[in-house]
Amino acid sequence: MNEAGSLTKAQLRLERLAQRDALSVEDRQTKSLAMARLGAQALSFSPGTIVSGFMPIRSEADTRPLMEALRDKGATLCLPVMLDRETIVFRAFARNAELVKTGFGTSGPDESAAVLDPHILLVPLSAFDGHGQRIGYGAGHYDRAIARLHAKGLEPLLIGIAFDCQEVPSVPAEAHDVALDAILTESGLRHFSGRAGA
């Protein structure tokens, strides 16, 4: 079933992250700005919709221009914060708020910020395929956070954030994996159809 051959998730992760790391800083910034422009044009939502972004680490796409564009369209922003090795919560991200180190190399609002449940979740990843399956960074933080939202009866729209070079022919999906609703790259927003729960 795996068109990428017998590559495991770990191998695909390393391969695609190496491709992402190989992009120059200038190239990543140009692609990130294209994502912001195309994403803001393609995403429609009601004012006050809670959107969880994330602050970029390592060679990830810079989501800050996209988050500000969505804020300008009326989104209420929040950022993921690591409470411990197992748990992410989403804290309100006010404009110009000071951010603190929040674990896993990330930064986010401090404990004075309100905890929110996002309607739209921008999801970082290492690799994705054309069916909406994703490979994260191996710790399962987002998988658990999404499972907790589902346990509350919430069905946030899951939008992966990646560069085109992170796409693989096929991700070896497991039964517990939750597929993305869409992927945003420098080429634009692509919706996936036919996934369970979509």
Give dist(CA 72, CA 170) in Å, integer.
36
**What type of residue is 16?**
R
Q: Are strands 50-52 and 127-128 parallel, antiparallel or unpaired?
A: unpaired
pLDDT value of position 2: 41
Which run of H or E residues covers position 25? helix 25-42
Q: CA-to-CA distance for 112 and 62, rounded, in angstroms?
A: 25
Per-residue model confidence (pLDDT) at position 34: 98
What is the identity of the amino acid at 37?
R
Q: How confident is the model at residue 198, as a pLDDT?
A: 34
Region of residue 74 (phi > 0: left; psi between -120 and 50: alpha; otherwise: beta): left
Q: Distance between CA atoms of 30 and 132, rounded to whole angstroms?
A: 24
Task: Find the Cα–Cα–Cα–Cα dihedral 26, 27, 33, 37, rounded to 10°.
Answer: 160
Task: Tell me what pLDDT residue 1 has.
Answer: 38
Distance, in Å, from the CA atom of 28 to the CA atom of 37, rounded to the nearest integer, reads 14
Residue given tokens 């191998």 in the structure block:
11
**One-letter amino acid identity for 149?**
L
Nearest to 135 by CA among 169, 102, 103: 169
pLDDT confidence of residue 4:
45
pLDDT at 196: 39
Give the pLDDT of residue 141. Answer: 86
How far, in Å, CA of 56 to CA of 14, rounded? Answer: 18
Output the CA angle 161-163-169, nearest 5 degrees: 100
Element (H, E) at 80: strand 76-82
Residue pLDDT tens, the chain, 198 long? 344 456 899 999 999 999 999 999 999 999 999 999 999 999 999 999 999 999 999 999 999 999 999 999 999 999 999 888 788 999 999 998 889 988 777 889 999 999 999 999 999 999 999 999 999 998 888 999 999 999 999 999 999 999 999 999 999 988 778 899 999 999 999 999 754 333
Query: Which pLDDT score, from 0 to 100, does residue 5 have?
Result: 53
In eight-state DSSP terms, residue 166 is: G
